[in-house]
């Protein structure tokens, strides 16, 4: 059985297998995440430039670079784990935080913006104060 469906105005063929339209997911992420980051910061009443570290889901480096570029957040203050571990799905943010601790980047009192996105095109962000 070959069914079809639509995603972002594009017809997708369904061959009864799990598929991903990578190009459209990429476009969605690099558009949605920077807007979501701004929303988190607005709700916290803190400008983005006061964030010490940005920790996004580590889907791929090109995506992270584009999100940083579009949001105006420096890639140098972004923690990611994919270079060492690849895309580990829901573990990317905790792995990135661990890497930040191990490399002595995260310091007590740092403001850290966590941002996850993935399955079902769900996304959420959270601003925390690092106190461990």
Query: Which of 18, 13, 19 is CA-nearest to residue 3?
Result: 13
Q: State the fold for domain 22-129.
A: Peroxisomal Thiolase; Chain A, domain 1 (3.40.47)
String of b and e for 36-68 (b: at least 16 CB within 10 Å)? bbeebbeebeeebeebbbbbbbbbbeebbebbb
Residue ranges of domains in the chain: 22-129
pLDDT score at 1: 42
- Determine the angle formed by the axes of helices 22-44 and 61-71, rounding to 10 degrees: 40
pLDDT band at 2 (very low <50, low <70, confident <90, very high): very low
126 phi and psi, to 5 degrees?
-150, 130
What are the pLDDT digits (tens) for 22-35?
A: 788 899 999 999 99
């Amino acid at each position: 059985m070959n069914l079809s469906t639509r995603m972002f105005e594009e017809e997708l063929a369904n061959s009864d297998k799990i598929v991903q339209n990578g190009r459209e997911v990429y476009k969605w992420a690099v558009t949605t995440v920077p807007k979501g980051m701004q929303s988190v910061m607005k709700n916290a009443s803190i400008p983005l430039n006061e964030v010490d570290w940005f920790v996004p889901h580590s889907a791929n480096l090109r995506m992270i670079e584009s999100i940083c570029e579009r949001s105006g957040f420096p890639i140098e203050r972004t923690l990611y784990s994919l270079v060492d571990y690849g895309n580990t799905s829901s573990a990317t943010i905790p792995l990135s935080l661990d890497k930040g601790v191990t490399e002595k980047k995260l310091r007590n009192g740092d403001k850290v913006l966590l941002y996850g996105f993935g399955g079902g095109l769900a996304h959420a962000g959270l601003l925390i104060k690092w106190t461990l």
